[in-house]
Chain A
Amino acid sequence: KAGVTQTPRYLIKTRGQQVTLSCSPISGHRSVSWYQQTPGQGLQFLFEYFSETQRNKGNFPGRFSGRQFSNSRSEMNVSTLELGDSALYLCASSLVGGSTYNEQFFGPGTRLTVL
């Protein structure tokens, strides 16, 4: 079974631009979560989508948004980029419900650099 995939892997943008990141979960996983990882801050939770609905949201400004499609693929958008948005953005999928542990499986991340 293929793992979580994220595209693109690397991205360089300038301040003020916007960016869209994509995440394809493991087949059958319906929950997708997004995290921002920066040195010293660890993983900061952005939001989670399940069945095309945002279920949970972290403490990030409205410039950060996302959506989930019917095939469970998810996109994350950041508008009006700031230098502080430079980070590794991680996507994680999980199988919600059933008898499994429902742990999260992570993708390789998208490294965003804002100049």
Chain B
Amino acid sequence: AQTVTQSQPEMSVQEAETVTLSCTYDTSESDYYLFWYKQPPSRQMILVIRQEAYKQQNATENRFSVNFQKAAKSFSLKISDSQLGDAAMYFCAYRVPQTSGTYKYIFGTGTRLKVLA
């Protein structure tokens, strides 16, 4: 079964500190992408970072980086120098191609991140 697990329903971090959100997934596919999405309170979901499974190098986007462990099927998100605007629900997602030519996305249940001033 294709599943995505986010074991931390809620986390808190002090402003300017670093926090890591965990995500594990289960798949037998070899060709897939992994994503972290951010959903601020009452605002639109936006893409934070993506990782291609065939790339060994961890993706980085400014203060956001991932630790991709393919063998362990782990895809954690690290937020450095946390800011108040980082407070949001974070969703980990996994995507595989379908025979239809489109893609299937599987999302985790989310981690609510609180940033303390």
Q: Which residues of A contact B (CB under 8 A)?
A: 3, 31, 33, 35, 40-43, 45, 48, 50, 55-56, 90, 94, 96-97, 101-109
Contacts and interface: CB of A to CB of B under 8 A. Distances in A.
Nearest to A107: B44
B91 A42 contact: yes
A96 B101 CA distance: 8
A105 B46 CA distance: 7
Contacts of A109: 44
Q: Chain B, interface size: which category?
A: 20 to 34
Contacts of A33: 105
Interface of B: 6, 9, 33, 35, 37, 43-47, 50, 91, 93, 98, 100-110
A23 to B, nearest CB: 13
A42 B110 contact: yes
A55 B33 contact: no
B110 A48 contact: no
29 contacts: A3-B44, A33-B105, A35-B107, A40-B109, A41-B109, A42-B6, A42-B91, A43-B91, A43-B93, A43-B107, A45-B106, A45-B107, A48-B102, A48-B104, A50-B100, A50-B101, A50-B102, A55-B98, A55-B100, A55-B101, A56-B102, A90-B45, A96-B102, A97-B101, A103-B33, A103-B47, A104-B47, A106-B45, A106-B46
A90 B39 CA distance: 12
A41 B50 CA distance: 22
A42 B44 contact: no
A90 B46 CA distance: 12
Q: Which of A101, A103, A106 lies at the interface centre, i.e. has the most chain B CB atoms within 10 A of its CB?
A: A103
Nearest to A102: B103
A35 B103 CA distance: 14
Nearest to B44: A108
Contacts of A56: 98, 100, 102, 104
